[in-house]
Structure 1
Amino acid sequence: MTDQQAPPLLPPPLRAWLGLTAVLAALTTVVLGVLYAGHSGPGTVDAWIQSGVDGVRPPWRYAALATDFLAEPAGAATLVVAAVAGCLLLRRPRAAVLLVVGLSVTVGATTLIKPLVGRTIHGVNLSYPSGHTAFFTALALIAALLMVGRLGFGRTGGTVFVLAAGLVAGAAMGWAQVALGAHYPTDVLGGWCTALAVVPPTAWLVDRVAAARGRQPR
C-alpha cells in the first residue's frame, strides 16, 4: 500500500467527535490557565490528589522514573526516531510528518503557555501545563489514529479507541509527574488537554495538504 492509498490520518467518521473534543480540550486548557495564573502552590483538588500520590517509594518510584524518562529529551528523541523510522519503512511518510509536526506543535504549545500562565512549583519551575504529559499523550493519540485507519473502526469504536489510548498514556505520565513532585495534578490535566486540542486538527491539516499535493498536475 502506497502513502496515497493509505487511509486518512484522521478518518472522516471520527472528525466530528474528535474535532469537538479538541475544542473542549482547548477551552479547558485556557480555563485552567486563567484559574492558576501566577499561582505558586497547589489548589484544593491538587492537594487532595497529591496527598495520596506524591512522594512514592520504591519500587513504584522506579516505575515513575522510568515513565518520566520516556518524555525526557533522550527518551522522547528515541521514541520519535523509532516511530518515524517505522513509518518510513512502512512507506507512510504522511504518518511520519504527523508524528514530527504533531509532537512539535504539542510540545511547542506547552512551552509557549508556561510563561504566559506563570504558575510555578518548588518556587521557580514553570509548571502549567505539563509538557511531559502533553508529549506522551500526543504520541499515543497519533499511534491510535494510525491504528484506527488500518483496523477500520467505525465512528464510535474509533473515537473510543483513540480517546482511551490518550487517557491511558496521559494517566500514566501524569501519575509519574505528580508522584515525582514535578507537577501539580491540574498541570497534568492541562498537558493532557493540550495534546487533545492539537493532535486532531494537525492530523486533519496534514491530510488536507497531502490531498492538495496529490491533486496537483505532474
Structure 2
Amino acid sequence: MSGGPAPAVLPPPLRARLGLLAVLATLVVAVLGALFAGQSRPGTVDEWLQPAGEGVRSPWRHAASTMDFLGEPAGAAMLVAAAVTGCLLLRRPRAAVLAVLGTGAAVGATTLLKPLVGRSIHGDGNLSYPSGHTAFATALALVVALLATGRRRPGRTAGTAFVFAVALVAGAAMGWAQVALGAHYPTDVLGGWCTALAAVPATGWLVDLTAGRLVHARADARQGARP
C-alpha cells in the first residue's frame, strides 16, 4: 500500500456543488417538517401519489418487503459491512469510514427528527417523518457513488449528475417500497431522501477534514523527530 495520504472521500471538484445540494436538502427537510408537524393525515401531494404505489400485490409486494428488510437493522448492517469491505479492498479507508458514519448520521438524524416533527401515519401513533429506510438507502448509495466518482474522476458536471442520479434511484426504490407497504407517506420518503443528501456530504467533509489534520500532525511529528 502506498505511503501517501488516502484519497479524499469528497472529490474536490464536487465539494461546492454537493455542499449547495446539502443546504437545499436541509431546507426541504425543515419546510416539510414544519408543514406536517403533529399531523396524521396525508398532504395534497400524498393523496395524489399514494394510491399509485400503495397496496401492491405479489410479486411486487415481495420485492417491496425485500427492500424494506435491507433498511432494517439486520439488513442494513449486512449492506454496510459489504460496503466497508469493498472500500478497504479498494484501498479507500476514508470511504469505509464514511460508509459507517454517513449512513449512521442519516439514520440518526431521522430518528431525532421523528419525535420533533411528531407526524404519524394511519393514526396508529407510528412516527413517519422522515423515512429512516429511505435515508439509509440513499446515504449508502451516495457513499458508493462518491467512491466510484473518486476513482473515475469525471468532470464536475458529469460527476455531480452521476452522484445525484445514483442517490435518486436508490431513494426512489426504497421510497416506493415504503409507500407500497403503507409504512410512509410519499412526503416522508422525500424527507428521508433529503436528510441523506444533507447528512452524507457534511459527514464526508468532516471525515476529510479530520483525516487531513491527522496527516499534517503526523508529518509535523516526523519532522520534529528528525535530528
Alignment TM-score > 0.5, same fold: yes
Aligned to 1:158: 159
The answer to whether structure 1 residue 16 and structure 2 residue 36 are counterparts is no
- Which has more radius of gyration? 2
**Equivalent residues, number:** 218
For residues 2 and 69 of structure 1, do their structure 2 counterparts lie closer, same or farther at Cα, with a shift above 3 Å needed?
Answer: farther
For residues 52 and 3 of structure 1, do their structure 2 counterparts lie closer, same or farther at Cα, with a shift above 3 Å needed?
Answer: farther
Give 1:186-197 correspondences, 5 Å limit.
186-197=187-198
Shift of 1:6: 4.1
Q: Deviations over 1:1-32 (max 9, x none)?
A: 54844431111110111110000000000000
Equivalents in 2 of 1:3, 1:28: separation in Å? 42
The answer to whether structure 1 residue 29 and structure 2 residue 26 are counterparts is no
Aligned to 1:204: 205
The answer to whether structure 1 residue 134 and structure 2 residue 135 are counterparts is yes
- 8 Å contact kept, 1:3–1:94: no
TM-score normalised to the size of structure 2?
0.93
Aligned to 2:225: none
Give 1:81-96 correspondences, 5 Å limit.
81-96=81-96
The answer to whether structure 1 residue 43 and structure 2 residue 43 are counterparts is yes
For residues 205 and 58 of structure 1, do their structure 2 counterparts lie closer, same or farther at Cα, with a shift above 3 Å needed?
Answer: same
TM-score normalised to the size of structure 1?
0.96
Equivalents in 2 of 1:164, 1:4: separation in Å? 32
Percent identity over paired residues: 70
- 8 Å contact kept, 1:50–1:184: yes
Shift of 1:89: 3.0
Aligned to 1:70: 70
Gaps of 5+ in 1: none
Equivalents in 1 of 2:154, 2:205: separation in Å? 17
Q: Deviations over 1:119-167 (max 9, x none)?
A: 0012210000000000000000011001100001110010000000000
Equivalents in 2 of 1:197, 1:67: separation in Å? 22
For residues 4 and 136 of structure 1, do their structure 2 counterparts lie closer, same or farther at Cα, with a shift above 3 Å needed?
Answer: farther
